[in-house]
């Protein structure tokens, strides 16, 4: 089993095995937690974002957002139908997303989850003003709510740029994402802060970030797996029993018909 997990380098010499074990334990907890035996409701899910949300540099091609949602669904006994509309290279101010978001959500039908998983690096590289980034995210949230979706804002996985050239600007952009999301009713808009959770995990386990990165802007497959496990863990806390998933994601029970209706009436 241990060979399935990436080997990470630890800052202290001779401790690479311990680092791999720490990541392995988290991934085992995310993947091996049994779900309920009976399947729960089917929830249509839309993902929008950039290249990391699209699964770039993940060997399986799924990406940390889709992976994390799937891990949480297995734990909670849910069935997700995921449509990934993330666009590599796109920015939160992308015109394509602005034009099509409402239609994408309507295609899913009722009781949908809209996942806004924007990395901030594309916007930072193009010098998008922070005000414009915040306004674009708020507009997307309003659009999703108007289409009667529940919104989940997922902050980005950390990358090499998070520790180097964008070590100051990216945390500020992530904080803004969270602040924008929290202006909306908490029963309609949820936040999973993968960025901070991933930094805290690496720091707590004395792990170097290099073993999780594929170039300056993307995590590698191991980085996607770690971010996914942290996302699943965050969703488990957000939607913990007994309340569970938001009411708006639960389809109403089928109305009784025929003889069953007579018995109930």
Q: What is the pLDDT of residues 111-134, one digit of tens each?
A: 999 999 998 888 888 999 999 999
Q: How confident is the model over 159-177, as pLDDT tens digits?
A: 998 888 888 998 999 999 9
pLDDT tens per residue across span 192-203: 999 999 999 999
pLDDT band at 56 (very low <50, low <70, confident <90, very high): confident
pLDDT over 80 (residue 41): no
Instruction: Indicate the pTM of the whole model.
Output: 0.81
Q: 18-27, 63-72, 100-109: lowest mean pLDDT where? A: 18-27
Higher pLDDT, 135 or 30: 135
- Phi and psi at residue 81, to the nearest 5°: -110, 105
Residue 12 binned pLDDT confidence (cut-offs 50, 70, 90): very low
Q: Does pLDDT of 18 surpass 80?
A: no
Give the whole-angstrom CA distance, residue 70 versus residue 67.
Answer: 5
Predicted confidence band of residue 110 (pLDDT cuts 50, 70, 90): confident
Tell which residue, 124, 130, 183, has the closest CA to residue 153: 183
pLDDT at 39 over 70: no
Cα separations (Å) of 147 from 105, 126, 135, 192? Answer: 7, 30, 18, 21
Domain that holds residue 59: 2-264
- CA 226 from chain center: how many Å? 12
The CATH number linked to 105 is 3.40.50.1110
Query: Can you give the pLDDT at residue 17?
Result: 42
Residue 214 predicted with pLDDT over 90: no
Q: What is the DSSP string of 148-198?
A: T-EEEEEPPPP-HHHHTTTTTHHHHHHHHHHHHHTTS-TTTEEEE-HHHHH
* Number of domains, the chain: 1
């Amino acid at each position: 089993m241990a060979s399935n997990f990436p080997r990470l380098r630890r800052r202290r010499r001779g401790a690479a095995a311990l680092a791999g074990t720490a990541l392995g334990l988290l991934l085992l907890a995310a993947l091996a937690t049994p779900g309920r035996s009976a399947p729960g409701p089917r929830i249509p899910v839309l993902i929008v974002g950039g290249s990391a949300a699209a699964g770039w540099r993940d060997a399986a091609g799924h990406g940390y957002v889709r992976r994390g949602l799937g891990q949480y669904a297995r734990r909670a006994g849910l069935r997700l139908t995921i449509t990934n509309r993330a666009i590599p290279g796109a920015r939160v101010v992308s015109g394509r997303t602005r034009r099509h978001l409402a239609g994408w959500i309507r295609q899913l039908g009722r009781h949908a989850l809209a996942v806004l998983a924007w990395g901030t690096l594309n916007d930072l590289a193009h010098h998008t003003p922070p005000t414009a980034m915040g306004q674009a995210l708020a507009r997307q949230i309003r659009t999703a709510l108007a289409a009667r979706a529940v919104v989940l804002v997922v902050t980005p996985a950390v990358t090499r740029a998070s520790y180097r050239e964008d070590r100051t600007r990216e945390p500020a952009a992530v904080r803004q994402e969270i602040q924008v999301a929290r202006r909306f009713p908490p029963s309609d808009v949820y936040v999973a802060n993968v960025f901070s959770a991933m930094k805290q995990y690496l720091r707590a386990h004395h792990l170097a970030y290099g073993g999780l990165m594929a170039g300056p802007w993307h995590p590698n497959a191991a980085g996607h797996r770690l971010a996914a496990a942290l996302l699943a863990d965050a969703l488990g806390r957000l939607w913990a029993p007994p309340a569970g998933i938001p009411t708006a994601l639960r389809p109403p029970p089928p109305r009784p018909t025929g003889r069953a209706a007579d018995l109930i009436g």
